[in-house]
């Protein structure tokens, strides 16, 4: 018996990183998974690899029309929806005084508007299903400042706030809404150089390991599969009495900086 047997879950940003590991784990736990992303080749290949329990659909999370189409596809392929993981997000580093409005709004569109549209689009389907779960991906930076991340931190703080409001409004419909607040996670978004074939991957990995070994109490970056296990907990009946909460998963970062 899997923890998600008989359930259908839509996961955004599912082509790689945390979303990919969530899709793999959820399918292994018995769920039917609708993988949504704008990385069509990677998303389609992953769905094919997972097998009959998975489908892929293109979804720009900032587009109302794309959300409408994704929900229609979930209904067509799986007969409805029982859960949503709002995982899609982008990260831009820039000093506050140097951040162009266009860049700020780009981050808002994907991270904040994307989560809002996802919850709004999926809530009626989850209500029809008799209840369900929404897991929003926020960030450690929603709860603690970090230089060069004005736009990113603002959107992630908004996600935590929207999570609380949605939890209050949707509880009467049997829908639980929670947020994950990861710290540093070893994914292409956090380490864009891993996508650069010209980069010295070994040297980059060693430098990153040294930095986080000094900074974090647990001495390393998180892994995408560790975040996926928290998403599984919040999507499954193991968390049946939990809603409206931000869950920090950061290797102890929020507790303070490790001794140097």
- The helix or strand, by DSSP H or E, that contains position 35, with its residue range, turns out to be strand 32-37
In angstroms, what CA-CA distances link 227 with 36, 124, 157, 161, 247?
Answer: 18, 27, 18, 20, 10
Answer whether 3's CB lies under 8 Å from 18's CB. no
Catalytic residue among 73, 152, 212, 241: 152
Which tokens hold the place of 5? 């047997």
| Residue 212 bears catalytic tag | no
Query: Three-state DSSP class for 219?
Result: coil
In angstroms, what CA-CA distances link 215 with 100, 208, 209, 222, 254?
Answer: 30, 11, 10, 13, 11
Catalytic residues: 152
């Amino acid at each position: 018996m899997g923890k998600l047997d008989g359930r259908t879950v839509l996961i955004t940003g599912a082509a790689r990183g945390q979303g990919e590991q969530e899709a793999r784990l959820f399918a292994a736990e018995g769920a039917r998974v609708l993988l949504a992303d704008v990385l069509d080749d990677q998303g389609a290949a992953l769905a094919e690899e997972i097998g009959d329990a998975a489908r892929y659909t293109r979804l720009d999370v900032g587009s109302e029309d794309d959300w409408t189409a994704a929900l229609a596809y979930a209904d067509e392929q799986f007969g409805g929806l029982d859960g949503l993981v709002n995982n899609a997000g982008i990260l831009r580093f820039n000093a506050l005084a140097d951040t162009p409005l266009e860049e700020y709004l780009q981050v808002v569109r994907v991270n904040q508007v994307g989560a809002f549209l996802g919850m709004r689009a999926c809530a009626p389907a989850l209500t029809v299903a008799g209840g369900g779960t929404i897991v929003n991906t926020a960030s450690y930076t929603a709860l603690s400042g970090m230089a060069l991340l004005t736009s990113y931190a603002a959107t992630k703080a908004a996600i935590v706030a929207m999570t609380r409001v949605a939890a209050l409004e949707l509880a009467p419909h049997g829908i639980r809404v929670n947020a994950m607040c990861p710290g540093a996670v070893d994914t292409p978004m956090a380490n864009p150089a891993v996508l650069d074939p010209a980069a010295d991957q070994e040297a980059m990995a060693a430098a990153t390991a040294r930095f986080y070994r000094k900074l974090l109490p647990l001495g390393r970056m998180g892994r995408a599969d560790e975040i996926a296990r928290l998403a599984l907990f919040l999507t499954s009946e193991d968390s049946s009495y939990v809603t409206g909460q931000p869950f920090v998963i950061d290797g102890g970062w929020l507790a303070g900086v490790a001794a140097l």
